[in-house]
Amino acid sequence: MANAPVAPFKPTLILHGGAGALARSHLPPELYARYRHSLLIYLTDTRALLDQGATALDAAVHAVSRMEDDELFNCGRGSVFNLAGEIEMEASVMVASVRPEAYGDCEGGGGPAMGGFKKRAAAVSLLRRTRHPIQLAREVLLEGDGEGAGVSGMHCHLSGREVEEWGWSRGLEKKGKEWFWTRRRWEEHKRELGHGHVMTSSFGMGDLDGMILPSQGTVGAVCLDRYGNVAVTTSTGGLTNKKPGRIGDTPTVGAGFWAESFAESAHEASGDTQSSSWTNAIGQAKAQLFDIFADCLGPAFAGTSLPTYHRLPGDPQTSEYRSNLLISATSRSHVYTGSLAEPSSQPRSHRAVALSGTGNGDSFLRTSAARSVGARCRYSSSPEPLSKAVSAVAGPGGELQQSAGTRFGRTGEGEGGIIGIEVGASGAAEVVFDFNCLGMWRAWYEKNRDGKEVPKVMVFREEYQ
Contact 75, 83 (CB under 8 A): no
Q: Active-site residue among 218, 236, 240, 367?
A: 218
Contact 216, 208 (CB under 8 A): no
CA distance 177 to 130: 10
Q: Is 358 a known active-site residue? A: no
Q: What is the DSSP letter of 130?
A: B
CA distance 276 to 278: 5
Pairing mode, if any, of strands 121-127 and 157-159? parallel
Please, which residues have CB within 8 angstroms of residue 431's CB and are 6 or more apart in sequence? 12, 13, 14, 222, 419, 420, 421, 444, 445, 446
Cα Rg of the chain (Å, integer): 26
CA distance 93 to 62: 12
Q: What is the DSSP string of 78-110?
A: GPPP-TTS---EEEEEEEEESSTTHHHH---SS
Distances in Å between the alpha carbon of 113 and those of 116, 332, 370?
10, 47, 27
DSSP E strands in 54-106: the ranges are 89-97
Length of the chain: 465
CA distance 368 to 365: 5
Q: Which residue from 154, 364, 124 is spatially nearest to 251, judged by alpha carbons?
A: 124
CA distance 14 to 16: 7
CA distance 397 to 23: 20
Catalogue the active-site residues: 218
